[in-house]
Amino acid sequence: MNRTARLDSDSDSGAGARLALEAAEDTVREQTVQLADASVALGESEDRFLRLMHGVKDYALYTLDTSGNVASWNAGAELIEGYRAEEIVGKHLSTFFQVSGDGRAQRNLEVAERTGRVEEEGWRVRKDGSKFWASVVLSAVKDPAGMLIGFAMITRDLTERKNLEEQLQQAKKLEAIGSVAASVAHDFNNLLSVILSYSELLEFDLEEGDPRRADLQEIKTAGVLAGTLTRRLLAFGRQQVIQPEVVDLCSTVSGMRAMLKRLVGVGVELSTIFPDTCGKVLVDPGQIEQVMINLAVNARDAMPDGGTVTIAAEEVALDEAYAREHAGVTAGPHVLITVTDTGTGMDAATQERMFQPFFTTKPLGKGTGLGLATVAGIVKQSGGAVGVSSELAHGTTVKVYLPLIDRNARVGPSAPPPDIERLEGHETILLVEDDEQVRVLARTILRKYGYNVLDAQSGGDALLLCEQYASKIDLLLTDVVMRRMSGRELAERLLRVRPEMKVLYMSGYTDDAAVRDGIFYSTIAFIQKPITPQSLARKVRDALDPTPPGVTELATAASGAAAQPQLA
């Protein structure tokens, strides 16, 4: 090849190289632009992710490095866990566990790395030391090659749900125990009716000065004490029949001061703090007396060396948050009664169990464990709530909240007191009772007072007897809880054909449905077992005698308010 040809060839080669170099430069510039665009997009994506992450307030969202130390921290984590990002970033996951030295945090990290995910619920600790029930999801984060690059964590505060679940479980336990106790109390009240009534009937037949009267009196005293125990069983199980009245609570409690002073004894000072006016509540006065007596006795027992019991009252408003945390409580105005002692106080473990039935810190034989359980049962049945604050060596305060009703409601019972001088009668009474001993007893008592008695052992027998008996039946006296047909169902069916007939219910207890339906809110319509000759005769007379003007309206208003408290 000649020299000219070689030069041409070299020229062509140089031009090709330049073209290749220019193309490479173009590619680099294009890739640089693409990388820059990708970097901007990545930055924008990271910004959006961070804004999203920090905008979440209901969840704690944070990441951990491969060792389990906090790498990032969102606003929700700060709210739930209590730490600011600068305080917690770099700290280990075990910081949040109730017992950080048990190794559970490290085990969770190992399981998540191995399986990809761990879910659990349990108690965690905030910065301030308070506990909360946490639902946690821990996920391992790996690169495309499967290498661990860290962990992602989501935590929710489920303390409110946990508390509600525990309240539900406790309510179910109490309901089960209450059902058993109520069944026992019902049967026991039937037996007590027989014991007390026959003792009283025998006493009527004995001359004054007969030494056997003292023996009968001892039997009656023991029966009355046994009846008190059954009422406590029914009260804590909230299966006691309540007979409410419109009550000025401050006046009622103030009127008990002398009795409460005797209960607490000479070594204890009793102080009362009441406002000039106090709201009205719809409660059973006898039950409120039982509440105050139990609280006073417990306060006294907590001060073996003496001290001070302070009873105070005021009007307060319970908010929606309090109502949500206490089942059966309605938000709104309440009357608050506090009973404070300067006694030994209680530790946290005792406070958690203090309202449980049969739990007592007293020596064997010194307490039944039903006092505070009774208080809780009565207050809750009345639509209220009970709270406690206590500290060892610094005394205890028990708070009883009862809902206010219409301030214009008339204070007093829904029926006038019975005329104790007029207990005999001549009317016809249909007696329905499935317990044979109680039926024979009630029939004997009523006939002794001059009544014509038709008796039946079941609702079906009573319906048949009513069909066959052509004359007027003035009163149906029926047990509430019977095997095939309840007393209320029987009354409803009989009143369709005998609308002029009066009805008097009797029972040792009743179920919640009957109470909610409001059939027992008139004091002239119900007699609580155990019955005695005088108590039965008085209730029968009350049911048969015409109701004075105005009493019916008050009874109706009371029953309506009892079924659905009206807040002022």
**Core vs surface per residue 168-190: b (16+ CB within 10 A) or e:** eeeeeebeebbeebbbebbebbb
Q: What does the block give as tokens for 16?
A: 């090709």
pLDDT at 559: 35
Residue 304 has pLDDT above 80, yes or no: yes
pLDDT at 418: 43
pLDDT at 44: 53
Residue 56 has pLDDT above 70, yes or no: no
For CA atoms 503, 509, 511, 515, the dihedral sign is positive
- Looking at the DSSP bridge assignments, the partners of residue 118 are 138
d(CA 205, CA 184): 32
Angle, CA of 235, 241 and 246, to the nearest 5°: 100
d(CA 258, CA 292): 12
Q: Could you report the per-residue pLDDT of 533-567, keeping only the tens digit for each? A: 888 998 899 888 865 443 333 333 333 333 332 22
For residues 286 and 366, which has the higher predicted lDDT (pLDDT)? 286
Q: What percent of the chain has pLDDT over 70?
A: 71
pTM above 0.75, yes or no: no
pLDDT at 270: 92
pLDDT at 237: 52
Confidence of residue 382 (pLDDT cuts 50, 70, 90): confident
Angle, CA of 461, 466 and 472, to the nearest 5°: 150
Could you give the 3-state DSSP secondary structure of residue 398?
strand
- Average predicted confidence (pLDDT) for the chain: 78
Answer yes or no: are the C-beta atoms of 504 and 219 closer than 8 Å: no
Q: Could you report the per-residue pLDDT of 183-219, keeping only the tens digit for each? A: 677 777 788 888 888 888 888 778 888 888 888 888 8
| Mean of pLDDT values over 59-80 | 89
d(CA 108, CA 114): 10
> What are the φ/ψ torsions at residue 193 (nearest 5 degrees)?
-60, -45
Evaluate the omega torsion of the peptide bond into residue 530 and state whether it is cis, within 30 degrees of 0.
yes
For CA atoms 438, 444, 447, 449, the dihedral sign is negative
Structural domain 428-563, CATH architecture: 3-Layer(aba) Sandwich (3.40)
Cβ partners under 8 Å of residue 5, min gap 6: none
Structural domain 55-157, CATH architecture: 2-Layer Sandwich (3.30)
CATH number assigned to the domain covering 245-414: 3.30.565.10
Q: What does the block give as tokens for 555?
A: 């009874």
Same fold? 245-414, 428-563 = no
Spans of all domains in the chain: 55-157, 245-414, 428-563
Residue in 304, 284, 312 with CA at minimum distance from that of residue 382: 284
Q: Could you report the per-residue pLDDT of 235-252, keeping only the tens digit for each? A: 555 555 556 778 888 888
Range with the poorest average pLDDT among 179-193, 256-270, 379-393, 520-534: 520-534
Range with the poorest average pLDDT among 52-61, 194-203, 210-219, 220-229: 52-61
Residue 51 has pLDDT above 70, yes or no: no
Burial class (CB in 10 A: 0-12, 13-18, 19+), 100: middle
Residue 68 has pLDDT above 70, yes or no: yes
Place of tokens 């739990």: 359
For residues 278 and 437, which has the higher predicted lDDT (pLDDT)? 437
